[in-house]
Amino acid sequence: MIEAAVLTIGDELIRGEIVDTNSASIASCLQQIGIGVKKCLTVGDDTAEIAETLEQLIGSYRIIVASGGLGPTGDDITREAVARALGRELVYNEEAAAKIEKIFTRRNIKFTTNNFRQAYFPEGAEILNNERGTAPGFKCQQDNTSIYILPGVPDEMERMLAAEVLPDLQKLNSGIRPLLLARYQVIGLGEAELEDRIKKIIKDYSSVHFSFLPRGGVIEVKLTCSPEKENLLSRAEKEIERKLSSYIFGRGDATLTGKIGKMLKNTSRTIATAESITGGLLGKRLTDRAGSSEYFAGGVISYSGESKIKLLGVPRELLATRGAVDSEVAELMARGARELLAADIGLAVTGYAGPEAVGNNVGLVFGGLAVEGRQYSVRWNLTGDRKRIRWLTSQFAFNLVRKHLLEEIT
């Protein structure tokens, strides 16, 4: 496997003012084409520090991908630092300058002489096109190391990485076949339960590497193996699919809201929500997806007892005797939302997110689902802080819908 290093540059990063997401984006893209990142580094906007760090990396790694510090202001000194590390001069590139000026004219932004700084590159650099901003990136080759310098704005960086860097790296990497990979998204099983369930498969397929990545109620199960063992991997995949069956809700980057969105759309069904504990998170997550208006009829955020009574028709006596966190309340909320918004499916959640709760019941949550003529509820005991409990509630509520649709369809 070709080894790479990632370098991110910016004072705001080493001061902890913003979280560096570029390193993970770059590492994940490289990983997918079979290039392994061995080390990520972050330094501030400091010419000497950047140059010194690059000098240490050049020669030790076949590939260096760096981002940040390509802007037009005096703080942006990555160009100078790279030139210093490579022992080359910065040279003015007329073509790049013309391109930058054109972008400014088109956007009707004032062009200052400062912006011409972005048209200087280390001698011999190949310019990388920036489709989403003014700062071009560049590539240099030195001592068997390919160095890619990208802008720091995540959006611009990601586009340049996909359009310019990855195709180039794939050429470099053409002799090497990437690792084979299969990813499953699993919900409804704990990590220990999951491992236990497939431990025989893990043992039988010793040349397949299994890993588990728990992420907010969902576990990603990842199988990797060398490209020579393709047959083995597909056999292992079949066994995993058989063993985990409907706990798997998708492959690759599948999401729960994507999955139920597709299922609702395909079956021409609509859904309405009634949210107490999540306060709008169910609706927010459903509508994160463009096109959700096709299946999301709308919702009620019934955070108060009064709104559960008035809008959703939960009887006042029931609330008074059982309280708001109750299985029957969840069912009636689901039914109420379904009727109020004239949807096929009503989905409701009510529970204690904490930090305080009646009877120390933080994490006690009921999910309710209503369809034509019937409704039912499920009880969940969730752990974590307020944020996590609300998130898990949304995950399990969406899974309730998924399971319902699976049963209805089959």
Footprint of a second copy on 299-358 (CB under 8 A): 299-304, 306-307, 310-311, 340-342, 353-356
CB of 296 to a second copy, least distance (A): 5
CB of 400 to a second copy, least distance (A): 18
CB of 394 to a second copy, least distance (A): 9
For the segment 367-386, give every residue that binds a second copy (CB under 8 A). 385-386
Residue number with CB closer to a second copy (13 or 187): 13
Element (H, E) at 220: strand 218-225
Examine residue 25 and tell whether it contacts a second copy (CB under 8 A): yes
Q: Which is nearer to a second copy, 39 or 200 (CB)?
A: 39
CA 211/CA 387 separation, integer angstroms: 26
Q: How far is the CB of 246 from a second copy (least distance, A)?
A: 25
Buried b (16+ CB within 10 A) or exposed e, 58-88: beebbbbbbbbbbbbeeebbbbbbbbbbbeb
What is the nearest approach in angstroms of a second copy to the Cβ of residue 125?
25
Among 124, 298, 313, 323, binds a second copy (CB under 8 A): 298
Spatial contact of 44 and 9, defined as CB atoms under 8 Å apart = yes
Which lies closer to a second copy via its Cβ, residue 19 or residue 320?
A: 19
- Residue with Cβ nearer a second copy (307 or 327): 307
What 3-state class would DSSP assign to 212? strand
Look at residue 114 and give its three-state secondary structure.
Answer: helix
What DSSP character marks residue 377? Answer: E
Q: Which of residues 277-296 bind a second copy (CB under 8 A)?
A: 278-288, 290, 292-293, 296
Q: In what order do the strands lie in the sheet with 209-215?
A: 209-215, 218-225, 180-187, 248-251
Quick one: which of 9, 30, 232, 405 contacts a second copy (CB under 8 A)?
30
Taking contact as CB under 8 A, which single stretch among the options 36-44, 80-88, 114-122, 243-251 is the one that binds a second copy? 36-44
Count of positions on this chain that bind a second copy (CB under 8 A)? 73
Smallest distance, a second copy to C-beta of residue 178, A: 13
Q: Tell me whether the omega of the peptide bond preceding residue 355 falls within 30 degrees of 0, making it cis.
A: yes
Which lies closer to a second copy via its Cβ, residue 139 or residue 285?
Answer: 285
Give least dist CB 189 to a second copy, A. 17
Give the 3-state secondary structure percentages of the chain, helix then strand then coil, rounded to 5: 45, 25, 30
**Among positions 28, 129, 170, 381, the unique one binding a second copy when judged by CB under 8 A:** 28
Which DSSP category does 165 fall into?
A: I
Between CA 69 and CA 75 the distance in angstroms is 7
Query: Which one of 76, 275, 326, 331 is in contact with a second copy (CB under 8 A)?
Result: 275
Least Cα distance to 118 among 139, 96, 87 occurs for 96
Q: Does 199 bind a second copy (CB under 8 A)?
A: no
Query: Rounded to whole angstroms, how far apart are CA atoms 123 and 139?
Result: 11
State which of residues 185, 257, 273, 375 lies at the interface with a second copy (CB under 8 A).
Answer: 273
Phi-psi domain of 207 (left: phi exceeds 0; alpha: psi -120 through 50; beta: other): alpha
Among 297, 314, 365, 392, binds a second copy (CB under 8 A): 297
